[in-house]
Amino acid sequence: MSPTYDVIVIGLGGMGSAAAHHLSARGARVLGLERFGPVHDRGSSHGGSRITRQSYFEDPAYVPLLLRAYELYEEVERATGREITTLCGGVMIGRPDSRTVSGSLRSAEQWDLAHEVLDARELRRRFPTLNPQDDEVALFEAKAGLVRPENMVAAHLQLAGRQGADLHFDEPVVRWEPYRDGVRVHTAVNTYTAGRLVICPGAWAPRLLTGLGVPFTIERQVMYWFQPSSPDGVEPFRPENHPVYIWEDAEGVQVYGFPAIDGPELGAKVAFFRKGEITTPETIDRTVHDHEVAAMAEHMSRCIPELPGTFLKAATCMYSNTPDEHFVISRHPAHPESVTVACGFSGHGFKFVPVVGEIVADLALTGTTAHPIGLFDPRRLAATPA
């Protein structure tokens, strides 16, 4: 019996929705399976905004993928009419030897990316809401900004559906297994076969990829929205006046934040980068507690004194971390002919969504990709051979 589908995609969040789009655009018969509804808020691909940047402090090896992602942002916007990006500029702030600043500068110089290095005085002059210490500096990147996660996921699902992909929501996967020359996937309601399988599990990676040999940890994160107390209201915090930022203090604690992108009633978003609690998708505490709000407000009062004026709301999400905080994008080492995985995005993956979808389609359909993904081989992390 021939498989029903060419490719099954498990997970239709950021990466899975992009994979479904790119696979179906190449003519593959695609089944997408998602445990929740479309564009949900139970995983990682939500919260209204995610930072995008090219001067990448994590590693210069990411930069070529970011350059391609920026091209694909525009393609998706043209194809769907949805707003995906706002390039309002961004500042990476800290002491000169901090990872945030020195790593960003390393990538910018290695890839000849347009940037400026601002001392504390110039940073305050250009962006009066920011209050850096005298020994802090910033790398400013005009091409940095934000992407809207819900719009991105919705756009990729729209394109996948338009191209003939069969998308099933509220249908959680129970297990998958090799089957004949392909794979078989069991859900709560049915069983499907395909020649290839793509697994984009987000926080469900520890359950669905037990044989990968990667020690994933799932981390609870909290996003906060505050209404600034500026005498000029929200005006200084609008995207035309205010950059996105990642700010590392002397102890290495990083916060990141955004301009007020949706008007004064929704405020400006800020969060700690990491510093979360280990959890699971089943046990995550979705309640944001008063002491958490107080800690966020106290930290931001030193950086942007007018920001924590009035607390508006908060929401939780999950990071799916690898030990070295680099991604996993690869053919499955134990099933290289039939299974492709994209996971472990460690809190900094969403800006890569469209190019990861392209890479996954390459790997699933041809077994290789022209994109540089050597950094993301899961075998670098395996405690034992897969």
What does the pLDDT read at residue 257? Answer: 98
Residue 75 annotated as lining a ligand binding site: no
What does the pLDDT read at residue 382? Answer: 73
Task: Give the model confidence (pLDDT) of 61-86 as tens digits.
Answer: 999 999 999 999 999 999 999 999 99
Residue 7 annotated as lining a ligand binding site: yes
Residue 8 annotated as lining a ligand binding site: yes
What does the pLDDT read at residue 3? Answer: 63
CB neighbour class for 265 (10 Å; exposed up to 12, middle 13-18, buried from 19)? exposed
Residue 291 annotated as lining a ligand binding site: no
Task: Locate 215 and state its tokens.
Answer: 């020690």
Own/partner contacts of 299-305, CB < 8 Å, gap of 24 or more, are: 299/253, 299/255, 299/272, 300/226, 300/255, 300/257, 300/270, 302/131, 303/130, 303/131, 303/132, 303/247, 303/255, 304/129, 304/130, 304/131, 304/257, 305/131
101 strand-pairing partners: none
CA-closest candidate to residue 213, choices 331, 11, 380, 339: 380
What does the pLDDT read at residue 386? Answer: 38
Residue 302 annotated as lining a ligand binding site: no
SS3 382: coil
Residue 31 annotated as lining a ligand binding site: yes
Task: Locate 272 and state its tokens.
Answer: 């700690």
What does the pLDDT read at residue 274? Answer: 84
Quick one: DSSP state of residue 252? Answer: S
What does the pLDDT read at residue 275? Answer: 80
What does the pLDDT read at residue 1? Answer: 41
Residues of the chain with pLDDT under 70: 1-3, 383-386
